[in-house]
Amino acid sequence: MKNIVCWGGLLLISTQAMAADMACSKIAGDSERLACYDQSNKLPVIVADLPQVTAADKAAAETAQKAEYEKIQLERLGSGMVDRWELDPNKSTGVFLPKVYKPTYILPITYTSSVNRAQSLPAANFDPANAPQLSAAEAKFQISLKAKVWEHPMGLDANLWAGYTQSSRWQIYSPDLSRPFRETNYEPEVMMVFHTPYEIFGWQGRIASLSLNHQSNGRALPLSRSWNRIIGEIGVEREDWSLSLRPWWRIKEKIGNDDNPDIENYAGRGEVLLTHTMQRHVFTLQARHSLRSGANSRGSMQLDWAFPLGTGVHGYLQLFSGYGESLIDYNFKQTKLGLGISLVEWR
């Protein structure tokens, strides 16, 4: 309608201008006739009726932009278990493509309540007097990747994955010891992850998995530590919460070849993982236990908090208490606090 009115106005103005020019042409005097033409060709300025952007419109646009950004960030932090394990065939990215597995972080500073100076080793030939004077402060970092190697094997609603996690403790604040890496743990594994849709008490069943896991510190005796496990997992979700139950069974080694025969009574025989996502904050509680009573009733708890610092970067706070913070410390009890940054969060 506005276009019709605009074009109509221009037509009316053009008609008026032609009539004025005809009138000017009848004037005999040159100067008077020229002045008439100049006066008749002064067209009025037409101001278009453009929409005005108000402060409310700007605020609404900024809110929508922020909401879209938050949505992208939440998707980046991790969607549901089904998406992260690519059990929906419509969202598959193919095989042999590395993806984030467990948290990947750098903690420039960690501090422990008690230093395992003697390493608490069960080896009979270890002399605590020769143990290095370790610092209570150190750095810690972890990288963790996984890749799908077989989609829906034998037609199953499942995927086969391979994963690798490596975590290191670095005595960077011990210049007298040449700042050594105190302990590095290597953890390759193979996982078959099944899609298990069901509902129980409001929780939605998502996944079940079975994995073969090896973990070691790659060191020689008397500091060698390792174990092999078969790990099961059941994963459920409810709104912004996810819960995983992960019992495991240790594959026994030959008598005389076991560097840590009692590790299950300290590091545990299973764990519970509870994760809560609140906007761009991710909280994870990990609890492990030996599943034994009396003197062998031991375990640990770890709280991880990833919080936003800026675009693509998250702060990371980690609090651990109990046994098994690392393989070399599997039978050593401590409380350890670390602070740093993380690019990715719990799987």
Q: Do residues 175 and 194 make contact, with C-beta atoms less than 8 angstroms apart?
A: no
Structure token digits, residue 36:
């008439």
Q: Do residues 102 and 347 make contact, with C-beta atoms less than 8 angstroms apart?
A: yes
Which CATH superfamily does the domain covering 79-344 fall into?
Answer: Phospholipase A1 (2.40.230.10)
Q: Which residues are catalytic?
A: 214, 216
pTM summary value: 0.76
Is the N-terminal amide bond of 89 cis, ω within 30° of 0? no
Give residues with Cβ within 8 angstroms of 85, minimum separation 6.
159, 161, 193, 207
- pLDDT tens for each residue of 71-129: 554 444 445 899 999 998 888 899 999 999 999 999 999 999 999 887 655 555 556 66
Q: pLDDT tens for the chain, 347 residues: list them.
A: 545 444 444 444 455 555 556 666 667 666 676 667 666 665 454 545 556 778 877 788 877 876 665 555 444 444 589 999 999 888 889 999 999 999 999 999 999 999 988 765 555 555 666 667 899 999 999 999 999 999 999 999 999 999 999 999 999 999 999 999 999 999 999 999 999 999 999 999 999 999 999 999 999 888 899 999 999 999 999 999 999 999 999 999 887 788 899 999 999 999 999 999 998 899 999 999 999 999 999 999 999 999 998 767 899 999 999 999 999 999 999 999 999 999 765 54
Q: What is the rounded CA–CA span in Å between residue 276 and residue 306?
A: 11
Backbone angles phi, psi at 304, to 5 degrees: -115, 135
Structure token digits, residue 155:
């037609």
Q: What is the mean pLDDT of the chain?
A: 85
- pLDDT tens for each residue of 154-181: 999 999 999 999 999 999 999 999 999 9
Beta bridge partners of 305: 283, 317
Q: What is the rounded CA–CA span in Å between residue 330 and residue 323?
A: 6
Domain residue extents for the chain: 1-41, 79-344
